[in-house]
Structure 1
């Protein structure tokens, strides 16, 4: 049979590869039939079909079917050879591109790594033949397929092989086409796939402008359906919205705003968080998201009503000062939940910059008076803990366990320091909102710098008022561009400082 295939080749070659004769056409059809023979015949016929297919456009459908059959062969060598020839079919007839891309995307589900690599290489070769149609074909297959593995690998291919190309291989017009096509299918994807598309788009050169980044934020807002509100009990929906908000964070700036997210949290979420069947870590994560959103929030409707909700939730975390009696003061140490307090106080501190009249409004006079009493009591507790923590941090420690314990104390120290800074602002008359704070879950390098800068300290009086002399500032851009934080919860112990233990996620410290 091998000799017969060579005879067919000679016929096609003698006829100069043209389809002007019935003899050449019959020879080509017989080559296609030879695909069904043994391994050697398959390899040889495939090689000759790739050489002459461009001369027989009327037989292209049968040609593609034959190559697809080889992609299902038991011999991986034959499968890889067939996959390698797909770009040749596209060069022979551009009408085959969409079908070929569909087949190749299906083949991304292969188990063999070398086979998947060959599939990716063939797709990239076709991309260089016709970039726009290739991108459209990939995204169309993602949109159409019900196979999770296929969609996941196709999206990963887009992110790792196409979105990372330089300007030569991904020029402006092709990038714009990629952006447009991604936007067209984005709202039809599931949550994980949508996040992948947002990540992909956010890395593209054309999406680095303010207008483009605001457009990405708007896409996330639409995917969250914030206008539908929240019923206060559906934790799955809340978790989904929180995930999307977390991915929107890296897009925010002083000109790309978080207002709709903040309003959603104030209107529907913060009053219900404490009642939800969630772990402390997950509740803290929700408060942290709100805190990080607040610096990028612009003015919104009904500020008094919405700030009152935030204020009231913060008050639930602020213990009342002990009542002095004839027998003395109650010495029971309250459970200061500083991690939660830091988030809520930071949110109030940031939003009050836009509405400074809230804390001095006549109707809030009694409430604010109680608020300040609790802040001063909290300040004294925080001062005690920061002293203990600072002494522990300045002590000599050795070994991995001690290093981990030092990291734990460093974050705990930063939480208390942040709370003190904000208390000093809030206890002024009228309240001040000038201090900028590095939130405690920022990268460790920032915390270390903040600790060293705060060694000069701040002078305070017994009421918690004072002058901040530490330099704890950061730009909005630095605060915005960071990895998601570790979930660390700090409740200061009443006695000796102890190291944190691993939480249910296995790797983070819980205080």
Structure 2
């Protein structure tokens, strides 16, 4: 193709005004020029876009030619082609779905300039025809061959940009469509996608009804696979991560109207029985803390259990693991390391559920005597920690993390003391009501959103033999339990699926699909 000939065609088209009937050949020259030199491709893109509406018979060929340029090896040509895409939709809405599909796939371009232009193009089409664009994007998202990175970029685009749309555009019907597509995508998603989608749902008006809250709880049940035996060591999966992450989002939905009994049974019968195994996992102690805290929160809304002693004994056994029996060496003044954070949660859960079986401790006096010895010994550790906190130099400068620990420590320790006092009545009573210390801090900081990946967490409070409050957590562990004091997956932890797309075996394992280059599907693959 000769550039001079192409430019001559451009001049003829520009001078035609409204008489384009006999200039189809010149427009066809521009379409063919998309296979020419760099300068010809750039000029051809301008011609195709500018005179697109005047040549309906050539529109399909014109669009295909521009799509080819969107995959060109030269970035400047790709950018020029991407910028023309909205003009096709402006002239004919029949191209909206295809332009949306191409623009969505271009979101995976690595160059910031290209990515921004693709994003701008997609947003423009989204505002003009939101229903078509959303359906097209979710069709691509739910395509089994779509790469994970592209899926996540599209979901982030949708859930971020839709919120900024004018209410006149984002109608109730469109919101209903988005909710339907989001819930459908939840059925087969990766861990990161689950977090992204649930964050959207729990922050939307959708969750204002009991019916919707129950629906999300049911989705979590399905993802956790509560009808199967819990196995923290399942190959190619991390069931503990999945459990904690799923439950994190539905915790706020439990109430007097939505009981947590099913989850209490699962945690007590299936999860606590694997306590030592969970503790041996990487980050196992943080998993245990998160599980204990979730169990404590859910215990507030537990309905009547058929055999409550069966569940209570599991909590009781774990509680004794963290409440050592007093040393026989009465001359020793050293105290063991106490994990106050886990004890507060387990003791709170025990105190709540034991109301359904008040004779649990009294049916065997030797059990009660042993437990009270442990409680008394642990209470000494609580008093020692409170004393240290009161004696610490108030002018000492603490790090932000240390300040958080010190601010919540008194409430946590007093909670433990209050619960222990009830258990020393004759017989033990279960009447006091305390507010969990980690929930109070959440309320104090006005946290309204689920913690993001990588958010700093509060450090579990320990009491060491030197009589000082201390934490031994690694830097890595500080990114585990989020602002709500619930486990949050660390950044980069997951590249896995809840479901295996190739079969029906659901797991926190790898999502299928062929590997592709940095721009996704390779040449010619943007078009379906």
TM-score, normalization: structure 2?
A: 0.78
Q: CA deviation at 1:323?
A: 5.6
CA distance 1:399–1:488, shift in 2 (3 Å) = closer
Q: CA deviation at 1:445?
A: 8.4
Q: CA deviation at 1:154?
A: 1.0
The structure, 1 or 2, with the larger RCO (C-alpha pairs under 8 Å, 6+ apart) is 2
Q: Which moved more, 1:55-64 or 1:4-13?
A: 4-13
Q: CA deviation at 1:257?
A: 4.3
Does structure 1 conserve the Cα–Cα contact (< 8 Å) formed by 2:456 and 2:479?
A: no
- C-alpha separation in 2, matches of 1:480 and 1:182: 21
Q: CA deviation at 1:177?
A: 0.3
The match for 2:260 among 233, 258, 274 is: 258
- C-alpha separation in 1, matches of 2:65 and 2:318: 68
The match for 1:318 among 313, 317, 323 is: 323
Matches within 5 A, 1:425-504: 425-428=422-425, 429-440=427-438, 443=441, 446=444, 483=451, 486=457, 488-497=459-468, 500=471, 503-504=474-475
> Structure 1 unaligned runs (5+)?
448-477
Does structure 2 conserve the Cα–Cα contact (< 8 Å) formed by 1:501 and 1:509?
A: no
Task: Provide the residue aligned with 1:308 in structure 2.
Answer: 313
Q: CA deviation at 1:150?
A: 0.9
Matches within 5 A, 1:32-111: 32-111=31-110
CA distance 1:359–1:115, shift in 2 (3 Å) = farther
| 1:25-68 per-position Cα deviation (integer Å, ceiling 9, x unaligned) | 33322221122334443333323322332344443332122111
- C-alpha separation in 2, matches of 1:206 and 1:231: 33
Task: Provide the residue aligned with 2:414 in structure 1.
Answer: 417
Q: Does 1:344 align with 2:346?
A: yes
Task: Provide the residue aligned with 1:283 in structure 2.
Answer: 288
Residues matched between the structures, number: 469
Q: CA deviation at 1:175?
A: 0.6
- C-alpha separation in 2, matches of 1:499 and 1:381: 13
Q: Does 1:239 align with 2:241?
A: yes
Does structure 2 conserve the Cα–Cα contact (< 8 Å) formed by 1:274 and 1:283?
A: no
Does structure 2 conserve the Cα–Cα contact (< 8 Å) formed by 1:9 and 1:48?
A: no
> Structure 2 unaligned runs (5+)?
482-528
Q: Which moved more, 1:195-204 or 1:73-82?
A: 73-82
Does structure 2 conserve the Cα–Cα contact (< 8 Å) formed by 1:337 and 1:490?
A: yes
Does structure 2 conserve the Cα–Cα contact (< 8 Å) formed by 1:488 and 1:508?
A: no
CA distance 1:370–1:446, shift in 2 (3 Å) = farther
- C-alpha separation in 2, matches of 1:152 and 1:127: 18
Q: CA deviation at 1:14?
A: 3.5
Task: Provide the residue aligned with 2:500 in structure 1.
Answer: none
- C-alpha separation in 1, matches of 2:319 and 2:67: 64
Question: What RMSD over aligned residues (CA atoms) do the two structures have, in Å?
Answer: 3.3
Task: Provide the residue aligned with 1:186 in structure 2.
Answer: 186
TM-score, normalization: structure 1?
A: 0.81
Does structure 2 conserve the Cα–Cα contact (< 8 Å) formed by 1:35 and 1:66?
A: yes
Does structure 1 conserve the Cα–Cα contact (< 8 Å) formed by 2:88 and 2:95?
A: yes
Q: Which moved more, 1:334-343 or 1:253-262?
A: 253-262
| 1:351-392 per-position Cα deviation (integer Å, ceiling 9, x unaligned) | 345x2x344576455534433343233223322321222222
Higher helix share: 1
| 1:107-142 per-position Cα deviation (integer Å, ceiling 9, x unaligned) | 111111121111111111111221111111111112
